[in-house]
Amino acid sequence: MPNSPADIRANLLAVRRRIDAACRAAGRAPGSVQLLAVSKTYPPAAVRAAEAAGQLAFGENYLQEALAKQAELADLPLEWHFIGPIQSNKTRELARAFAWVHGVDRLKIAHRLSDQRPPELPPLDVCVQVNISGEASKSGCLPSETAALCAAVATLPRLRLRGLMAIPAPVAADGDPRAPFRALRELFELVRSTGHAIDTISAGMSDDLEAAIAEGSTMVRVGSAIFGSRPRAG
Ligand SMILES: *Cc1c(COP(=O)(O)O)cnc(C)c1O
């Protein structure tokens, strides 16, 4: 069941404490990691409760659900991030309704988002999504394609390339939970070394944000640890 407003406030505090502790453990400045609250499948009232507790950036995966929520919450100064897979017939609305799009994984999508970003809005902040665990049938470009895709995205006038995003596959119990996040950071450093002023590693969720922060994540995307178990499968 979704949580009450009081639960959401307490959970947000607890997640912010986890982030701060992970930053300290990694010798990183507290505040070097942004929290994106993932509100997919949760009702507008849950977003309102989080906003009342000081959270302004929210992530959504499903376009129609996100647009309905945005309409109900238009009175709040929220920053919306699209973090789901992108279909090319949805780019026009994505380019209009979001501040960030995290799942850019092919050039065709990037071109459409740039062409369709309304002129009165600032450039759209984007991350290139990397299939860091090399899973078949998952979103994201291959690690080996990442630098070239970033170079092409960076030339598009109405996009601002901010960095890389990934959703690593679960690591086996005897594996190193930091390994996929380390691989993502190494790719980030490779892209940055080619002259792109990127500043964002979007990685880490409710169950693995500590491992992500230990390896340099700058934006964790957290849903269930804030809002409770999902009303339906996300
Ligand atoms: C659902 C989702 C999250 C949040 O997952 P939790 O386990 O609920 O924290 C983060 N990123 C993406 C891309 C998601 O789809």
45 CA to centre of ligand 1 in angstroms: 19
Closest CA to 129 of 115, 109, 114, 111: 109
- C-alpha 159/C-alpha 169 separation (Å) is 28
Report the amino acid identity of residue 193. S
Per-residue pLDDT of the chain (234 residues; tens, 9 = 90+): 568 999 999 999 999 999 999 999 999 998 999 999 999 999 999 999 999 999 999 999 999 999 999 999 999 999 999 999 999 999 999 999 999 999 999 999 999 999 999 999 999 999 999 999 988 778 999 999 999 999 999 999 999 999 999 999 988 889 999 999 999 999 999 999 999 999 999 999 999 999 999 999 999 999 999 999 886 554
- C-alpha 188/C-alpha 20 separation (Å) is 22
CA distances from 37 to 13, 42, 188 (A): 12, 11, 23
* Residue 205: count of CB within 10 angstroms of its CB: 17
Quick one: tokens of 225?
Answer: 């640890």
List all residues whose CB is within 6 A of at least one atom of ligand 1.
38, 40, 61, 83, 167, 205-207, 221-225, 234
pTM of the model: 0.96
Report the amino acid identity of residue 10. A
- C-alpha 130/C-alpha 127 separation (Å) is 9
Query: Which of 80, 102, 221, 226 has most ligand 1 atoms within 8 Å of its beta carbon, as the pocket-test mutant?
Result: 221
119 burial (CB, 10 Å; 0-12 / 13-18 / 19+) is exposed
CA diameter of the chain: 51
Question: Which helix (H) or strand (E) covers residue 200, if one does?
Answer: strand 200-202
Q: Tell me if 117 sits within 8 A of 142, measured CB to CB.
A: no
